[in-house]
Structure formats: structure tokens, C-alpha cells
Amino acid sequence: MARLELRNLVKQYGAVYAVNDVSLEVGDNELLCLLGPSGCGKTTTLRMIGGFIVPDSGDILIDGASIARLPPERRPTAMVFQRYALWPHMNVFDNVGFGLQLRRQSKADVARAVKQALDLVGLPGFDKRRPSQLSGGQQQRVALARALVLEPRILLLDEPLSNLDAQLRIRMREELTAIQRRVGITSVFVTHDQEEALSIADRIGVMRDGVLQQVASPTELYARPATLFVATFIGIMNVLDGRLAGDGRVTAGPFTLPAPAGARLASGQQLVVGIRPEDFQLTGPGGEGVQARVTQITDLGHYRRVTVEIPDTKPLTVFTSKLQDLPFGAATIQPQRALFYADEQLAGVMEPAGTAAAPVPSTSVGAAGA
């Protein structure tokens, strides 16, 4: 039970900002994922929380107390490392019990705590094994047990699943979240795998070039990406160049869309319009919308991925229901929902007819002109 707060963290390597003014709060028992491409600063941020990198400026607080000046061994954090970092010269028991032995706990207490931790991660009776005798998944569990046995207030996980094969990765991430919920521990989880982040996180912080782009729940992140980068990084997004016309309508490639209510846009402003593949309405030729051609249909089981071409426009990716009968050739296409970006920041959302248009959230990051 602890709250973690990062205030204006900065880490520079030469002229490059590895982490640029990142502020963030993680609540009690929350699992926050830091997500981004490699080199975005997510691991640097995590390592600053753990104490392995000293920030140039800013502060790190746990339950309101600054820990930024403490060395790693005096921080109430525990890290699960990407390659597990189990000590090869110690058996599983000593790996897990090392930190407890340092605390001069009695042998019986250490044994009890280690047994509990190994039970928790599903490895009872493995205490005498050497790390080299364990599979990747088992090593992962030992690393988790080693971190949890110290009862840290914050659990840090550095791409803990990236070295496992695909099937095991999915199983382990389910177990990991189950354990995290059972223990009830505030956690920061770094990953470059958006599916992983979307499936386990309470909230996700997306980073790029050292800058925190948006922190939001997975649903919010997908539905209302605050920046153009988040919009294109999470899921698939069709991106069209647009412009706000004088009549209050937006032209986006071949489409004409109504400008969303409440959007702070000036007439004639250049926009980028993002449309999710499932947000198009695709019907037979001659309907109400833009005339187009279906050039490719990929059946993906429960839905279809359709490539739609319109002259002078990049091909669009559209998801349609399997129930819809759709031949190749002429068709009509019209967006039902669209996201408008001005200066790479979310400026407005066009919701489908009949849905109440929600205002652009004020929590979105660094909105244009703010």
C-alpha cells in the first residue's frame, strides 16, 4: 500500500534528454505500465525509481517522502529485472532469502518467508535448485519471489516477460497480474509490447523521446489518444490530412466531416484526422458517402480486414463484421467517428451520430496553445 510520485524528473546524456520532465503519480495498489518504443526513456525512468540512475533534477516520492537521494539498497522498492538477474552461485532459497539474511532475520523467519514467497509464485519445493536448472518461466518466478519477499512498497518490473516465448508470455502475464492483485502492491511495469500493456495495466503511460505523452486507462488511451503519436502507436489508425473549412466543416482527404462541438479550432487550420479501422461504415456502391473500391479482404476469423482504395488517397484499412456480405469492387465508405489533431495534440472528437460528444479531456497532455 503505497503511493509513488514522480516530479519533473529529468535525465540527460550529453545533449540528449533520456527523460524529459516526467511527472506522474501511481496510486495505491495500482499497476501502471510505462509503454513506448525502445529508447523512449521508459527504462531510464524505472531505473531512476529503483535508484540505479541518478536523475539530473526532479524528485521521487513514496507516500510523500523523497527517496531520490537514497541508494538502491535503502529504497522501499524491489525490481524484477529483464533477464531475471538471478545469482548463479546461489540456489533458489539463497536467491530469495538473500535480502532477508542481510536484515539479520532469524533463520526460521527467513525460511518461513522464503517458503511463503515460493508458494506464492507457484514454485514450492524448488529451494535447492540452481538458477541454471530452471526454465525461463521458473527463473522469472524466482525473480518475482525475490522481489516480493522483501515486502517492498513499490514493485518495479523491467520488461519481465520479454525473454519468454509467446505462449508462456501470455500465461505469465496473467499470473503476474493475479499475484500483483493478491499481494496488493503498487507496481510500475515497463514494456514495449502494447498488447501486454493494454491487457494488464490499470493505467498506461506512453513515452516518446523522454517525454510522457499521455497517462490513461487502456480504454481511454485507445479511444481518445491525446497525441498523434499515441494515436498511431496504439492499435491501427488511418491518418488523413485535413483542414477546417469556413463553413465549420472539416475536409479530411476525400471526406467531409462535421467539426466537433467545443473544439478550439480556428477556421482554415491544418488538421490531422485519425480514424480507427472499425469506425468506418462500408456499404455497397451508390450509398451516402465517398465512392471507393474494395481491393483486398483478409478474413481474420471474427472480423475482416478490408483494404479500401479511393483515388488520390492512401489506401484505408477497415475492419468489418464477418456478418456483412462484402464483394470486391465498388463500394461506399464514410467515417462514423474521427479524432482531430492540431499540432499533434488532440483537438476534438467527432462521435457517431446519436452519441453525446464528450469534451476533450482537460487531462490531455500539453494541449495546443495551453
Partner 1 sequence: MAKSWFLGVPELRRALGVILVLALGLFLLLPLLTMVVWAFADVWRYPHLLPSSYSLRWWSWVFHNGNMTKAIFWSLTTAPVVTLLSAVICLPAAYSFSRLNFPGRRFFFISLLAANAFPKFGLYISIATLFFRLNLINTFWGVVFIQMINTLVVMTWIPAAGFDSVPRELEEAGRDSGAGPFRVFWRITLPIAMPALIVGGILAFLAAFDEAQGTFIVGAPRITTMPVLMYTLVTNYPEPASAVFSILLAVPSLVLLLIARRFLLAGYLAAGFKGR
Partner 2 sequence: MVRESSGHARAVEAVKPALTSYKPARWREPALGLLLASPPVVVVLLLIALPAVQAALFSLGQVPQDNAAYSTGMHLVSSPTLTLAVYRDLLSSPFFRADIKLTAVVTVWSVVLTLLIGYVLSLYVRFASGRLPTAVRSLYLLPMFVPVVIASYALITFYVDRGQLQALLHAAGLGYKPVIYRATGIIIGQVWANIPFAVLMLGSGLDGIPQELVEAAQDVGASPWRILWRIVVPLNIVPALIVLTFTFIGVVGSFTIPFLLGPNAPQMLGVAMNAYFTSYQQPQAAAAMAVMAFLACAVAGGLYVWGTSRTGRTV
- Closer Cβ to partner 1, 83 or 192, answer by number: 83
Least Å from the CB of residue 94 to partner 1: 10
Least Å from the CB of residue 215 to partner 2: 4
Least Å from the CB of residue 107 to partner 1: 17
Q: What's the half-sphere exposure (Cβ side, CA atoms, 13 Å) at 162?
A: 17
The 145-174 contact track toward partner 1, x by CB under 8 A, reads: -xx--x------------------------
Least Å from the CB of residue 124 to partner 1: 22
21 binds partner 2 (CB under 8 A): yes
Rounded alpha-carbon distances, angstroms, from residue 37 to 33, 40, 76, 111, 295: 13, 6, 28, 41, 32
66 binds partner 2 (CB under 8 A): yes
Sort residue 258 into left (φ over 0), alpha (ψ -120 to 50) or beta: beta
Q: Which residues pair with 65 in a beta bridge?
A: 62
The 39-78 contact track toward partner 1, x by CB under 8 A, reads: -----------xxx------------------xxxx--xx
Q: Which residues of 30-57 are buried (b: 16+ CB within 10 A; e: fewer)?
A: bbbbbbbeeebbbbbbbbbbbbebebee
User: According to CB under 8 A, which one of 24, 234, 282, 306 is a site residue for partner 2?
Assistant: 24
C-alpha 299 chain-centroid distance? 28
User: According to CB under 8 A, which one of 34, 211, 275, 342 is a site residue for partner 2?
Assistant: 211
Window 86 to 125, contacts with partner 1 (CB under 8 A)? 86-89, 98-99, 102-103
> Which residue from 242, 216, 244 is spatially nearest to 230, judged by alpha carbons?
216
Least Å from the CB of residue 345 to partner 2: 10
**Grid cell digits, residue 339:** 479524432
| Residue type (1 letter), 186 | T
| Binding site residues, partner 2, CB under 8 A | 7-8, 10, 20-25, 27, 54, 56-59, 66, 68-69, 205, 211-215, 363, 365-366
